[in-house]
Structure 1
């Protein structure tokens, strides 16, 4: 290993231990900014996926630790590591990383400013890490009971978010394009709380509530099947059953739809098969 690489590894370990002392869980990274240790399950993937329960190293961000002994052991197992990653979403900081990239044709800093103006929030003074490619990582903290997901350009082009299950490349790390450094005037700062308006943008929208079943709608579906003529009975039954499952009335209307289909002369085995097909098609079950 070249002298420069040995120096990079020594510095990376020193910076990682310093971060761990501040409560930031770390892992060793390769020059390509990837976890330095390969999965122990790569030849025989664990089912269900192992997140370190096996006791071995090589589970990416799940290996991250603030314990100095474990950090040293991780780096000893990866002597080629020239950087370190800081796990996001873990206590006590619940770190959230706002990655302002430098992709061609995008101005991520201007995009973040536009979002701040539109949604009326201000980015507080916080830790800022400068990347070798000219990008910036803003360190923010979130509430302990909120898991911010990782995303790429969802907020705006060139803005990636590092949340639960993700990591940020720590300052002092050396990659293929150079060294990550703390921006002047921010090294003494701690990660600042994420503004509530920005935090709201980072979270996925709440699931839409299911529409309440309509009694009138159910009656109309049954009538639609009962008034079918020969040659259209099966198609009408299938269509009505699909609408019933979509509206949350599949189980409740199954008997009435079957009776209506039988009234039209549709053979019972065929009618039951059609109802089953509609249930499977929409996801209602067998």
Structure 2
């Protein structure tokens, strides 16, 4: 059983399903997790060709990891029934209404995530608001913050600083009360609960790919460049109605080459980096941008 938390009501659930249902009642989309912290429901495509494994739930079956995350109690029970071995639950980040962003602060392998975050705050001059905090079995912690609705926050490992991982759009956090092979996750006593505070704007900017922050075109505004990068970051793998990663990258690169003049190559580099963050292989991203450049040169000015 999870450690006693003095802030938790006496009747709080203790099973993974009960904890997941309680989280869903607060607007958090959840999935069952195994003791290894991985999604517990097995993929329906595990015996199919690799191309079929790119499905993100469009097939209508369960077993697509964080793409199964839901707040619907019936669906949650179905997910846990399909994985009775689940001992925990994951909370999807970037979902309405909370649009959670998780900061995973590690304190292992000579890393000190909390100290690194404080150093970032001191160096860049932003405050660290009190936030819901989940303590991890390894001695680290997860801070729960929120991003503005519609803002894509890329997942990253150590890019902000050693010991700091970001759980953003398409990522998930291990929910408090979950039991894993390493131990149990639980809320730090005395920390605030939902609603979580907003990510400080400076920190939110630091979470974006470096090229997106540095692009400053002359023909197009810096705001437009950032908008193009975020458009690429919002891509859905596989896509629907022509809005997949390649389609979005091609469109954004065309706009850059049509409007940014000599700075287009700088924006294109930012777009390639953003596409790679969505999972598109870098050679494919570079080929798409090169095609957009050729297309823009053929277009009448």
TM-score, reference length from structure 2: 0.66
**Structure-2 separation of matches of 1:58 and 1:26:** 13
Matched, 1:89 2:67: no
**Structure-1 separation of matches of 2:187 and 2:156:** 23
Deviates more, 1:143-152 or 1:118-127: 118-127
Q: Which runs of 5+ in 2 are unaligned?
A: 3-12, 220-261, 264-286, 296-301
Q: How does 1:83-122 map to 2 (within 5 A)?
A: 83-122=88-127
2:44 corresponds to which of 12, 30, 40: 40
2:113 and 2:162 in contact (8 A); partners too? yes
2:154 and 2:168 in contact (8 A); partners too? yes
> Which entry has the higher C-alpha Rg, 1 or 2?
1
**Structure-1 separation of matches of 2:134 and 2:113:** 15
Q: How does 1:169-208 map to 2 (within 5 A)?
A: 169-186=174-191, 188-204=193-209, 205-206=211-212, 208=215
**Structure-2 separation of matches of 1:187 and 1:14:** 21
Match of 1:21 in 2: 25
**Structure-1 separation of matches of 2:90 and 2:110:** 28
> How far 1:190 sits from its partner (Å)?
2.7
Tell me the number of residue pairs that the alignment of Structure 1 and Structure 2 aligns. 217
> How far 1:91 sits from its partner (Å)?
0.7
Q: What are the Cα deviations for residues 100-121 of structure 1, in whole angstroms up to 9, with x where unaligned?
A: 0122222111111010011111
> How far 1:209 sits from its partner (Å)?
6.5
SS for the counterpart of 1:192 is: coil
Matched, 1:147 2:152: yes
TM-score, reference length from structure 1: 0.69
Change (3 A) 1:76 1:113: same
Q: Which runs of 5+ in 1 are unaligned?
A: 213-246, 249-278
SS for the counterpart of 2:158 is: strand
Change (3 A) 1:210 1:117: closer
